[in-house]
Amino acid sequence: MKRQAASITRPASESLPAPTLERPVIGMRIDYDRPEIVDWHEHRFGQLLYAARGVLQVETKRGLWLAPPQRAVWLPSGTTHRVTHSPGLAFRSLHVERGSPGLQDECCVLAVSGLLRELILAFLEREQNYDSGSGQSSLAVVLLNELRLAPTVDLHLSLPGEPRLKPIVDGLLDDPGDRRGLADWVRMTGASQRTLERLFKSETGQSFGEWRRQLRLQTAITLLSEGEAVTSVAFAVGYESPSAFIAMFGEAMGESPGQFAARHGGLPQTKTARN
């Protein structure tokens, strides 16, 4: 997806709070007033990245993972990644002791229930330097149990590594509204349309049309969260009519883009603060 022109890129902090056997979950909160990219890094613990407000995107070597409100990205320990923060993002992060049983062993997007949201926020409001057997320790146990129960959500875009697909993928990530089909990319890639179709399926598990639809969906979620009008978003992601875009969005998200924007669009600007 096209990166915001005003984004700044910074290295990851080397002093993030780390969980221990006595404190299996440790959290942190940061509010952002402008778009920002935290460059490639990894952790020796698992991480849950949650946006209490705004949208965050996690990129790994395998793909792009998007977390609007009511979603969170889970990263197992040792996953190399970088994170893009939207303006006005209320970033909430939980760091989980490596090897905690019952958690996903691959990067994924999790649905955040009302209960899980409140647990995350309540946990982060309290002292992180807690003792075993304390109320905060008990809350950490409940939080881990809810994470184990959270269902996965398909807000992932695979990034194929096949060199012949690179011009197509890079071009569409830069401009998701590009309406060219595979037949139009043949000359640039040097591969036949049939070969490109086969490569997309083998590399991503999706047809080219399915892959592009997922890219358009994830781009639309970001734009709507930033306050863009539904009609503008529809054209920006390559739909010829708003009605077709509304139908696609509703099928994927279970609500119309207008409903999503009413709840999450037009994000207020906040001052950056680290707690």
Predicted confidence at residue 175, as pLDDT, reads: 96
User: Identity (one letter) of the amino acid at 80?
Assistant: T
Q: What is the pLDDT along the chain (275 residues), one digit of tens a residue?
A: 554 445 677 667 666 789 999 999 999 999 988 888 999 999 999 999 999 988 999 999 989 999 988 899 999 999 999 999 888 889 999 999 998 999 999 999 999 999 999 999 999 999 999 999 999 999 999 999 999 999 999 999 999 999 999 999 999 999 999 999 999 998 888 899 999 999 999 999 999 999 999 999 999 999 998 889 999 999 999 999 999 999 999 999 999 999 998 887 654 333 333 32
Query: What is the rounded CA–CA span in Å between residue 24 and residue 139?
Result: 11
Query: What is the rounded CA–CA span in Å between residue 43 and residue 100?
Result: 15
Helix (H) or strand (E) holding 152: strand 152-153
Query: What is the rounded CA–CA span in Å between residue 99 and residue 72?
Result: 20
Predicted confidence at residue 148, as pLDDT, reads: 96
The bridge status of strand 46-53 relative to strand 71-75 is antiparallel
Minimal CA–CA distance to 122: which of 46, 19, 52? 52
Contact 166, 135 (CB under 8 A): no
Predicted confidence at residue 16, as pLDDT, reads: 77
- Single pTM value for the model: 0.86
Q: Quick one: tokens of 176?
A: 């998701």
Query: What is the rounded CA–CA span in Å between residue 92 and residue 209?
Result: 34
Q: Quick one: tokens of 197?
A: 């179709």
- Structural domains of the chain ordered from first start: 8-153 (2.60.120.280), 161-264 (1.10.10.60)
Query: What is the rounded CA–CA span in Å between residue 38 and residue 75?
Result: 15
Query: What is the rounded CA–CA span in Å between residue 110 and residue 22?
Result: 26
